[in-house]
Amino acid sequence: MPITDYLERNAKIYPDDIALTEINPANQPDSNMTWKEFNLIEPAHSSEQYKRSMTWKEFDVKANRFANLLMTREIRRGDKVAILLMNCLEWLPIYFGILKTGAIAVPMNYRYTADEIRYCMDLSDARMLVFGKEFIGRVDEAHPSMKADTYFYVGKEEETPAYASNYDRVTRYCSTICPPVHIRDEDDGAIYFSSGTTGFPKAILHRHRSLMTAAIVEQKHHGQTRNDVFLCIPPLYHTGAKMHWFGSLVSGSRAVLLRGVKPEWILQTVSEERATIVWLLVPWAQDILDAFDRGALKKEDYRLSQWRLMHIGAQPVPQSLIRRWKEYFPDHLYDTNYGLSESIGPGCVHLGVENIHKVGAIGIPGYSWEAKIVKNDRLEPVEQGEVGELAVKGGGVMKCYYKNPAATDEILKGDWLLTGDMAKQDEDGFIYLVDRKKDVVISGGENIYPVEIENFIRANDQVKDVAVIGLADPRLGEIAAAIVEVKEGGHLTEAEIAEFCMAMPKYKRPRKYIFAPVPRNATGKIEKPKLREIYGATNLVDAQNRS
């Protein structure tokens, strides 16, 4: 059963119920205007609106219109259609329209440069690109040398580039009937790209069964019902955001797409849209707590009693962060979700809302998933409590790295996927992430796991964020260096943080402290390759001077 069946079911059963709402708080022209006043504004163009909504019936109709347009352009089963859009009301109908034709959806990172757009389009063999206003300059630069021959622009008709067709205009009169295409579980459904933190991204090919697995797992984990409202903030091109939204698809409940991450925008949207479930990244949760601590925001100014679940994924979650969160929101259910694009986003391991006492662990195998910690690529298990590589098995494991059999063979071992993450398991079966395999620092023969040090340092009440990397050392091979970002208005010296770290075993203590911002990508992961480039041994002095 493909996930498109859920959309068609919802359109029949709940045709007039709101499926999606898009909020654009940055469009507010007057910061003193109330949200109710702002809601009354009716801009001439939808892209300028503060709030837009779509029913389940409208969602399905728009997906069918786009699917039929693709069919007229000779897009068939197995063809690839790329999406390069910021989160918007058009995103998901376009995605589902592609799936309904039997074609393969290819979402792309909105941070890609022109070179990366060109590379990913050609790597995936995408014949067509759907893009928005924010990407005109980059697509202008990339398209003359790309293999794709068709472009659709989502935005004002008068702004449409000469080489593209306007999406609204060309879909307006297309048939609203679903194309008669039978989709099987084993058919190819989507290509997602790896983070690309070690070079250009790899193309990850998933079958339709992966998408359905993600939908079922998400709804089982978080129990979405018709009464829930999911606030979606992360980018939809990423497997995590979309697969969490799949829980709303299964339950036929409303979701809100928020274009912005300011703490006041998040809380205001939760309040006004009556959101019950919010998926946050670590930096956003940290920003909300810091705003409360400073008194910049007050919890009592918002209607938050309906908010039942806060969950975090995409990166290790500091225990100290959740302890602080529970001080402000003692009644919140909490979950953390572990996944990767190769295992279709979140849920192959999750903490579970009933296991708050195990905060710090990424959890246990998710619904219908298996996991184990292994010594090597022969999948020999480690002893309980020992560190090894996490391997997972389930219906959401990728088919392959598209056109890259060597890379596929490195991580697919039969039905098992080697994640590249080092982990250990406690006596109760809970898995704790230790670090990325490639991020382990080997100092004087000792393995140092940066995540452990980062979690320790984040407990300092002056620290906003921290990243630990290895720097070359002529005697020890590598030493651990901590890049420390101090909270706004905070104060911390090298002597103070060094004293704070004295409580750690000596071999784990950082040998260098650098006070500077910690860069994270769009999904909240620390960009350690960028930090290694900036603070590499030969550039360390210059980098410290720049910071």
* CATH number for position 523: 3.30.300.30
Angle (nearest 5°) at CA 160 between 157 and 163: 140
Is the domain of 199 the same as that of 326?
Answer: no
| pLDDT one-digit tens code per residue, 390-412 | 999 999 999 999 999 999 999 99
Same domain, 521 and 450: yes
In a domain, 301, yes or no: no
Query: Is residue 101 predicted with pLDDT exceeding 70?
Result: yes
pLDDT number for residue 316: 67
| pLDDT reported for residue 312 | 87
Q: What is the pLDDT of residue 48?
A: 65
End residue of a domain, out of 436, 466, 498: 436
> How many separate domains does the chain show?
3
- Which domain, by its residues, includes 405? 308-436
Q: Confidence band (pLDDT; 50, 70, 90) for 198?
A: very low
User: What percent of the chain lies above the pLDDT cut of 90?
Assistant: 71
Contact 516, 483 (CB under 8 A): yes
Q: Got the DSSP string for 427-473?
A: TTS-EEEEEEGGG-EEETTEEE-HHHHHHHHTTSTTEEEEEEEEEEE
79 with 181, same domain: the answer is yes
| Residues comprising the chain, all counted | 547
Confidence of residue 30 (pLDDT cuts 50, 70, 90): low
Residue 56 has φ and ψ, to the nearest 5°, of: -65, -40
Three-state secondary structure call for residue 142 = helix
Whether residues 161 and 20 fall in one domain = yes
Crossing angle of helices 91-100 and 239-251, rounded to 10°: 80
**Same domain membership, residue 201 and residue 73:** yes
Under 8 Å CB-to-CB from 201, ≥6 apart: which residues?
109, 116, 119, 120, 193, 194, 195
Nearest to 66 by CA among 130, 158, 20: 130
Same domain, 470 and 414: no
Look at residue 333 in the predicted model and tell me its pLDDT.
96
Are both 385 and 501 inside the same structural domain? Answer: no
Same domain for 542 and 411, yes or no, is no
Tell the residue number behind the tokens 């206003």, with chain if given. 133
Instruction: Return the CATH number at 103.
Output: 3.40.50.12780
Lowest mean pLDDT segment, chosen from 43-57, 74-88, 219-233: 43-57
Q: Give exposure, 135-145, as e/b (b: 16+ Cβ within 10 Å).
A: bbebbeebbee
Percent of the chain surpassing pLDDT 70: 92
CA distance 533 to 539: 8
Q: What is the mean pLDDT of residues 52-80?
A: 97
Question: Tokens 């104060």 correspond to what residue?
Answer: 491
158: burial class by Cβ within 10 Å (0-12, 13-18, 19+)?
Answer: exposed
> Does pLDDT of 545 surpass 90?
no
Shared domain for 74 and 200, answered yes or no, is: yes
Cβ-contact 471, 528 below 8 angstroms: no
* Surface-to-core class of residue 380, CB atoms within 10 Å of its CB (0-12 exposed, 13-18 middle, 19+ buried): exposed
- How confident is residue 33, by pLDDT bands cut at 50, 70 and 90? low
Whether the pLDDT of residue 382 is over 70: the answer is yes
Report d(CA 102, CA 134) in Å as an integer: 28
Within a domain: 115:
yes
Amino acid letter, 77: R
Task: Find out whether 41 and 48 touch, Cβ atoms under 8 Å.
Answer: no
- Is 60 exceeded by the pLDDT of residue 197? no
Q: Which of 436, 470, 497 is the last residue of a domain?
A: 436
Question: Is residue 390 within 8 Å of residue 427, measured between CB atoms?
Answer: no
Reply yes or no on whether the pLDDT at 29 is more than 70: no
Average pLDDT, the chain: 90
CA-closest candidate to residue 62, choices 168, 141, 143, 198: 168
pLDDT at 71 over 60: yes
Predicted confidence band of residue 440 (pLDDT cuts 50, 70, 90): confident
Residue 319 has pLDDT above 90, yes or no: no
Tell me which of 316 and 388 has the higher pLDDT: 388
500-533 per-position pLDDT tens digit: 999 988 888 999 999 999 998 776 778 888 888 8
pLDDT at 508: 87
**How far is residue 280's CA from residue 239's CA, in Å, rounded to a whole number?**
14
Let me know whether 57 and 194 are in one domain: yes
State the pLDDT confidence band at 28, using cuts at 50, 70 and 90. low
Distance separating the N- and C-terminal Cα atoms of the chain: 53
Half-sphere exposure (Cβ direction) of 508: Cα atoms closer than 13 Å: 15
- The span from the CA of 44 to the CA of 46, in Å, is 7
- Most confident of the ranges 176-190, 300-314, 339-353, 513-527: 176-190
Strand (E) or helix (H) holding 274: none
> Amino acid letter at 395?
G
Please check whether residue 239 lies inside any domain of the structure.
Answer: no
Quickly state the pLDDT bin for 369 (edges 50, 70, 90): very high
Per-residue model confidence (pLDDT) at position 32: 54
Do residues 465 and 431 both lie within one domain? no
pLDDT category at 86 given cuts 50, 70, 90 is very high
| CATH number of the domain encompassing residue 385 | 2.30.38.10
- Residue 153 in domain: yes
The answer to whether the beta carbons of residues 521 and 457 sit under 8 Å apart is no
Last residue of a domain, one of 207, 224, 251: 207
Higher pLDDT, 420 or 497: 497
Asked if residue 217 has pLDDT above 70, the reply is: yes
- Phi then psi for residue 165, to 5 deg, are -105, 150
The SS3 assignment for 400 reads strand
Residue-level pLDDT at 105? 98
Q: Are residues 334 and 390 in the same domain?
A: yes
Spatial CA neighbour of 85 closest among 153, 3, 161: 153
Residue 153 has pLDDT above 50, yes or no: yes
